[in-house]
Structure formats: C-alpha cells, structure tokens
Amino acid sequence: MDFPASPLLRSLKCAWVQTPDLDQARTLCARAIGLSVLDSGAVETHWATTIRGARWVLFGDRDEDVGRLCLIEGVARPDAPGLPRGLDSVEIVVADVDRVAARVDAFPGTRRVGRTIEADLAELGGNRHRSALWRMPWGTHLIVTAGLTAVPGRQFPTTDKEAGRVFEVHVRTSRHADGLALYSGALGMHPLMSARFDRGPIHQAWGLPTGRPVAMDLLKTGPAGTGLGAVELQGHNADTLQADAQGGTVGLTFEAPDVALVHAGLRTAGYEPSPVTRIAAGPFAGRLGFTVSGVEGELLEVIEVDGAR
C-alpha cells in the first residue's frame, strides 16, 4: 500500500472526554488503566465543554508526543439503547491487557462489554491483537489493546509501561459516505484498513446480530505503517445508533505541519472551520489552531506541530 510522503495530519495528538466527576475519572485512568498524568489546569472557556472554568487533566506516555487523553469537566453520554453515535471508544495501547482488565473490572462505575477477545485481522492485512472493552462512568467506551503479532509494515504500537498512547478513536455514523468525505477526503487521512461485513469481530465485540451491515474504515494520520493515531470510521444503520451524541468522548485534536493548508482545504470542500487563532488556554495553549464540526457533530481541532512557530 502506498502512503503519502507528506500527510496533511501528522498525528492524532489528543482525544477529549467530558466527565461529570473529574476526580473519579482521574483516579480510574491513573490507577486502574495505568496512564501517566502529564499536565492539569482549568480553562475559563474551551471548545471541548460548555462548563465555564472547567478543570482538565492530560494523560499520556512521557516518552511519546502523540496519543494523549484529556479529561475535562462536562457531562456524561446518556445511557440509551443502541451504540453511541459520533465519537465513542478511545483505544489505548497497554503492555498486558489482562492485568489492566482486572483493575478496571474492579473499579466502581465501569461496565464490561463482552469478554476479553483475541481478534485476527490478517485477512484485512492487520495484526492479531487482544482487547478488552468497557462502558466508562462518562458514558462512552474505552478499549485496552495489545498486539500479538507483527505484520511487516503494519506493526502495532507497543509500550513498556502499563499504558501507552491512544491508538485510535471510533466514530460511528449513519452517514458513512459523508464521514469518508471529511476524514479521508478533506483531512487526507489514509486508509490503513477497509471492510464491509455483516458478521465478525465488530459484531462479536458489540453484540450486533449476524446479518447487520457494518462499514469500517481505519483512517490514519502520520507516516507509513500504522501511523501516529487513527480514526475508525464505522457506518451503521440509523436504528443501530443512539440519537444523542453529547457528552463523554467529544473531540479530537490533530497536529498538522501546515495548519493553514488544512484550513483552506476544508473551506474549499464546503466545511466551515473556525478562524485560525492562537490557542488561549488548555494543554496546547500558545499554538495556532482551529476547530471544525464532524459528520455527527463531533468536534475536531487541528493545531500546529510543537515548535513549528
């Protein structure tokens, strides 16, 4: 597979999750999942929440500059029938799935979805990996994953710590073609994997009935190989998805070598990004960036690479 030499987006820098109980969520992420706290603070206003003066905590691997997770005070996604619409599962690379799963299972407010599974994606050019999945107290899902095989050119990220970086985040939509036009088209995210099926690992993980159609495109940032973070765009029938997409996982921050170029491309494609401005507060304060709404109202931020200015 050919990858662009100069991708529009360097990395998935950060996934943003609103939570009504920041202290509980911080403890869950640090003690149960094993993530490191990198920074924290408060913002008078921020695109990732409607709460004024919201506190936030940034997690990640100190040895990597991508794949962060930022918890920010906000609301939980309502518990309703169907799969969460828009942004949902944050998938984090860990060293030992079963060790992390034992701690997360015991943490109050988490709800396991299915059992720990081993998925073999060799037929799609991918790896075999082991994963566990929960509905979290903030109402959307979290997955911990460890690769079990290494496909040349498709090596799954690894970590020598309890938890490493965010590998991907799920976006579910009943407007799959529109989602592809945004993520693969205007944002230039390259397809790492693409499939259309009515049974298999996604159906097993999420309890979907056999025969229910699902479209899946794993769209990556960054260089050749598995890149520096991805969006798993899933297309579903409208009645498979919840109606509400507010709360829980609400936004993504991408890094771009040329923020103005990405901004211009979005405008040319008919999107309405906010003006490019210097970020006033939060973990990426001081960088140039802008935001744009996604296909299901998910909020996407594009910022300059650190040190670009």
99: containing domain: 11-304
**How far is Cα 77 from Cα 248, in angstroms, rounded to an integer?**
5
Q: Is residue 119 part of a domain?
A: yes
Model confidence, pTM? 0.95
**126 pLDDT higher than 70:** no
Average pLDDT, the chain: 93
Q: Is residue 16 part of a domain?
A: yes
Q: Is residue 43 part of a domain?
A: yes
Q: Is residue 263 part of a domain?
A: yes
**60 pLDDT higher than 70:** yes
Q: Is residue 298 part of a domain?
A: yes
Across the range 91-108, mean pLDDT stands at 98
b/e burial code for range 211-247 (CB count within 10 A of at least 16 → b): ebebbbbbbbbbbebbbbbbbbbbbbeeebbbeebbb
Across the range 30-52, mean pLDDT stands at 98
Number of domains in the chain: 1
The CATH number covering residue 163 comes to 3.10.180.10
pLDDT at 248: 98
**221 pLDDT higher than 90:** yes
pLDDT bucket at 6, cuts 50 / 70 / 90: confident
